[in-house]
Each structure stands twice: as C-alpha cells, then as structure tokens.
Amino acid sequence: MQHFDLASVATPVSVMKFTLTYDGELRASGNKPKPEDKWAIRRQLAPQLAELWQVSPILRALKQQAWAPPDDSRYTPQEQYHTVQLTSAIYSANYMDLCRSLNISGIDFVPLVRTSLALVCDLDILFLRKGEPGSLIQRGGDVDNRIKTFLDGLRMPKADEMEFCGDRQTLPHPVHCLLEDDALVTAFSVKTGQLLTKPNGNDSDVRLVVDVTVKVTHVRSYNSALIGG
C-alpha cells in the first residue's frame, strides 16, 4: 500500500473506487420521488455495501482507526456519538467511534460517505432503461426524475420516510448505505443506454451501474487509513 506524508497531501484526495449495481423497477414520479422506490434501492444496495466493508482492507483498517476525542468541536451533542473505552495507552480517554451506526426510528444505518470522516464522493452512472438511448434531458430542461429518486435511495432515509420501509423484520441489521446525505455527492455524470430484457417487458425496469469515487476533503489521523497513513 502506498503511504503519504499527511502534511503534504492536497485535498480532496481520491481514496477509494468501487462499483454498485441496481436491477429492478424505477418508476417515473413527476416532481415527487416515490419513497417505496427509494427503499427498493436501499434494500438492494445494502448487502453490496456490507460486503464491501468486509472485503476491503482499507475499510477494515478504517474501522480500527476512526476515533475522535469526545470534546472534538466538530460534533454537537445532538449527533449523539457513542464513546468507548479504548485499550491502547495512546487512547486513555473515551473516544468517539466515527464509523458507528446511526439510528433512525429504531433502525441502525451505516453510511460509508459521511461528514464525521470528512468524506464526499463522485458518481459515474450508466443508466440502462427501456426506450431509445438519450432523452436524459426532458422537456423544460429537467433531468429524468428517476435519477433523483436513485440518488435519494443512496442516502440514509429521513425520519418521515421510515413508514415506507416495508417489513422491518426483513431489513438487514444494520442497513449499510452509501451516503449519510446526498449533499455529499460533489459531482455525477450519467450515460444512458437501452435496456434489453424481453419483448413487451416492464417499461419501468432499469439497470444502473454506478462507479463510485470516494474522496477525503480533510486529511486527519482518524481517516488516514483511507490513504495508507
């Protein structure tokens, strides 16, 4: 693994790349994305992200290193980060686990790209759908609203979306997701193509292939594992 002098690293720094896929129904929704479709996206991507946390040496190292002092001024009491007693002599005080799950209405979520780790990401999306390629920009200049629904499905749900999650017993524990908030997407590009499945297939069926580039905006000791620090 390549190592960096943390003092000399220019930010933001691209630290990780991976690919997510979504196959299923994604309905056009006018100006109001359908919350059920957001949950279908979360449910399909959650196991992919859970596996990423298991197989990525970078993320395994991050989980061991992502701690911050409890008096860190970046955090407010409302964020309610739990503190733990670390065994290392270096961490003799209680430190906050910056990779911990975040609870929404009784369900634990683990976002990868989150503010506590000073992370953002760029998305490169291949959007395969029924119909002719192109036409991403619709009349009036609006981008196909299904892209907005998909971006919403990449983030943790808001409290008022929890009623649409379906059977809670079938949700993974915790629910891994890409984003704490969709404001952490700093750039995205979309390439469209024609989805071929079978004659007279469902017009709402899509296949999305998403290349994710995770970036560190501020290099600190708690996220240096991402760049080999």
- In the chain, domain spans: 6-71+81-227
**CA dist., res. 78 & res. 211, Å (int):** 33
**CA dist., res. 153 & res. 19, Å (int):** 16
Residue 179, classed as helix, strand or coil, is: strand
Give the neighbor-by-neighbor strand order of the sheet with 175-179. Answer: 102-104, 107-113, 175-179
Mean pLDDT of the 160-164 span: 87
Whether the pLDDT of residue 140 is over 70: the answer is no
In this structure, which amino acid lies at residue 165? C
pLDDT band at 82 (very low <50, low <70, confident <90, very high): very low
Mean pLDDT of the 173-189 span: 94
Structure tokens at 67: 């701690």
Answer with the residue of higher pLDDT: 175 or 167. Answer: 175
Check: CB of residue 197 under 8 Å from CB of residue 119.
no
- pTM for this one? 0.80
Q: Helix crossing, 35-55 with 57-65: angle to 10°?
A: 90
Check: CB of residue 175 under 8 Å from CB of residue 108.
yes
Mean pLDDT of the 153-182 span: 91
pLDDT band at 138 (very low <50, low <70, confident <90, very high): low
Check: CB of residue 100 under 8 Å from CB of residue 82.
yes
**157: nearest Cα among 44, 78, 41, 1:** 41
